[in-house]
Amino acid sequence: MNADKIPDIIIGRLPIYLRALQRMVDKGIQTTSSQELGERVGISAAQIRKDISQFGEFGKQGTGYRIPFLMDKLREILKVDRIWDVAVVGAGDIGHALARYQGFVDRGFRIVMVFDNDQSKVGEQLGEFVVKDTSVMIEELQKADIKVAMLTVPATAAQEVTDMLVKAGIKAILNYAPISLNVPEGVYVQHTDPVTHLQRMTYYL
């Protein structure tokens, strides 16, 4: 296994497999096949076998995959066999939704701070967090050694806030703002956007 050589597109599918496997475990299913997993995620069995075999031999011909074992391996590969502290920047609607979202538990992430520059929001109780002022953000992120942030500020502010996050040592940004962010090498951005999901479905209508 040479991690550097594995295409990002394969890495992008592993979290989808992990989520589907979790749902199977939740239903009491303990073993699966590439065929069954493929049907659940809409990816061919051959592709799944090929993707997973990049990292080692985690299943057996004929008997398939033992789900808890495969999940452990995927968590290890994706480095979510630990807990990443996450900062939310922007305490608007999406920031609120994320601070209350129950789906982070047991999946490798824990929100620990929420920031906003709007003085009417600073100090507000948001779930279990008190919204902090963006003016102290760089210092707070560095002190807590946070590497992951979710960015939910308006598009007009997104690049400026991103520059602050980079300065603070953030290495992974999930961007909810509808613009492209410029970041230096070694900082990763994923964009989340409802329209790309919708467009993928209208193709079939």
Smallest gap from residue 123 Cβ to a second copy (A) = 19
Number of residues forming the site for a second copy (CB under 8 A)? 64
In this structure, which long-range contacts are made by residues 131-139, counting pairs with CB atoms below 8 Å and at least 24 apart in sequence? 131/91, 134/89, 134/161, 134/164, 137/87, 137/89, 137/164, 137/165, 137/168, 138/164, 138/167, 138/168
Stretch that binds a second copy, among 1-9, 31-39, 62-70, 130-138 (CB under 8 A): 1-9
Residues 61-80: x/- map of binding to a second copy (CB under 8 A)? ----------------xxxx
Stretch that binds a second copy, among 5-13, 117-125, 129-137, 160-168 (CB under 8 A): 5-13
Say if strands 188-191 and 172-175 run parallel, antiparallel, or are unpaired. parallel
Smallest gap from residue 193 Cβ to a second copy (A) = 7
Residue 20 or 137: which CB sits closer to a second copy? 20
Smallest gap from residue 184 Cβ to a second copy (A) = 14
Give residues 22-41 in contact with a second copy (rule: CB under 8 A). 23, 40
- Contact set with a second copy (CB under 8 A): 7-9, 11-12, 14-16, 18-20, 23, 40, 42-44, 47, 77-80, 84, 86, 92-94, 96-98, 100-104, 107-109, 147-148, 150, 155, 171-172, 174, 178-180, 188, 190-205
